[in-house]
A and B are shown apart, each in its own frame.
Chain A
């Protein structure tokens, strides 16, 4: 798919901007701070209803305004759809599809699909586990919108269970009534949690082959990139597991047991219940739930070393980019119809890569329906990428 036209009203630095884009590669060029990322952020917003830079919408509204509009024309196979999202301060956002009556903003999810890579994504490798959990959870919802409520269901059970653990702790010893309701919350936590886990494992299974391939084609050293799911409910889980040792096959299979990968929801549920029983004493001491998908991580490795804490800056960069490229491949495989592939957005990437990697990345993304690239200087963008260059100056974009 591709976006042929984006129009921003009171979004970030733009009072009004209209950008014409074409299929294939589009390069937004302009000095730092001019407003390039603001444009791709708006496109990403149409796909996910959230910004890749901030967690709430307020910074998206141009200073002094309380309503922003993002409009776009999307071409998907032979189908043209016009979209409009209204971002309002302190109110529910609304959307319109093909100028029809406004609908809830989330009704447009799935129409535009984007994969956005930005410098912030280094956190996928270097940041805390929540970054990696969110990466899997977000991709799951894109592939399977019916799972959108799964994570929220789990969080609600978790809150209730934590409240019970806390009150049991404050009340001193565990009364029998407490104990019997804790069993009840365990059942519900395990059931909701097994769904979250099953979804994440499935997404990781789909990503894995593409992650290895993408990393191999970006980096020159012959280290293999792998991603393993570290489930806190797995019997051998130890939080210090990945620290300061080389990860041989044995070590890895202990940290991320293959049994979990192929387990069905019912089996995961049983494992979960078992883990809850084993940690109950500790949980009652601490007053919080210590095992479950809310505390899991994805172990990223390069060769035999964990990426976090060991990878060089360049390796970190390539691995984060490889994760996004893998997501792009998985989404493409999910809907393989011609002209339905996701839009690939590369924000400020090329400046960070050396000439060889620039060329490699250009080759990798060449087949995408649409690639939107931002760069401060045109010479950072390799000639192989081709495409149309658009000059971004304060408040305007021109080809």
Chain B
């Protein structure tokens, strides 16, 4: 335990995602020793972001104004909406340049263990947007892990009665991974090869598996 302000800083840093107690301590001491002006800039950047940046009232992407640049961009198609979990997924898909429609950011995925159900996500707002008859297709681009798949299943069930074409990103994405870590090529392919949401194929029957091959060192 350190005294007062230092310990407080360590505690605050430790609450950030991906930062354990050791890193928190290291960053805290880096801040202590760093150029005061740099650190004032960091503190300002944090408070400005909290003041200025809000969520787009249409798609819930992060935005500095009422609506985000993607929602205002007139060159983009109004026919397709790509549904993602987080703003960082929008950035990832934009990097791929494979998609030029609109987005909808859910704000997470269904996850009962963490107490997140559809009410905690921007699902109602998505349904409201579908009142716009220009929209003909929805791409579900939730993460290819259990919670993302469950969210997609839920959306398919909820949106299907609306008679809009629904597709899911094709696999090729690392299973169990985070969309944001997929590289551009993988993401572009996944978007091009998006599949219709149909029930999954049955598993293959039990087959014999050969032993994994290993290099021989000697023979006798």
Contacts and interface: CB of A to CB of B under 8 A. Distances in A.
A62 interface: no
A144 interface: yes
A266 interface: yes
Nearest to B158: A180
A102 interface: no
Interface string B125-148: 000000000000000000000110
A78 B219 contact: yes
A98 B218 CA distance: 10
B163 interface: no
B110 interface: yes
Contacts of B210: 335
Interface in A352-390: none
Contacts of B111: 160
A330 B117 CA distance: 45
Q: How large is the interface on B (under 10, 10 to 19, 20 to 34, 35 or more residues)?
A: 20 to 34
Interface in B15-36: none
Interface in A311-354: 334-335, 340
A98 B216 CA distance: 8
Given A110-B212, A177-B118, A184 B218 contact: no
A266 B201 CA distance: 8
A295 B116 CA distance: 27
Interface in A180-228: 180-181, 183-185, 187-188, 191, 194-195, 198-199, 202-203, 206
B214 A187 contact: no
Interface in A139-196: 140, 143-146, 153, 156-157, 159-161, 163-164, 167, 177-178, 180-181, 183-185, 187-188, 191, 194-195
B115 A79 contact: no
Interface stretch (B4-12, B93-101, B149-157, B184-192): B149-157
A81 interface: yes
Main SS of the interface on chain B?
A: loop
B206 A143 contact: yes
B217 interface: yes
A135 to B, nearest CB: 16
Contacts of B219: 78-80
B166 to A, nearest CB: 15
A153 B146 contact: yes
Closest 9 CB pairs of A and B: A164-B112, A163-B112, A265-B202, A202-B206, A163-B113, A184-B154, A184-B153, A265-B203, A78-B219
Interface of B: 110-113, 115, 117-119, 146-147, 149-150, 153-154, 157-158, 200, 202-203, 205-212, 214-220
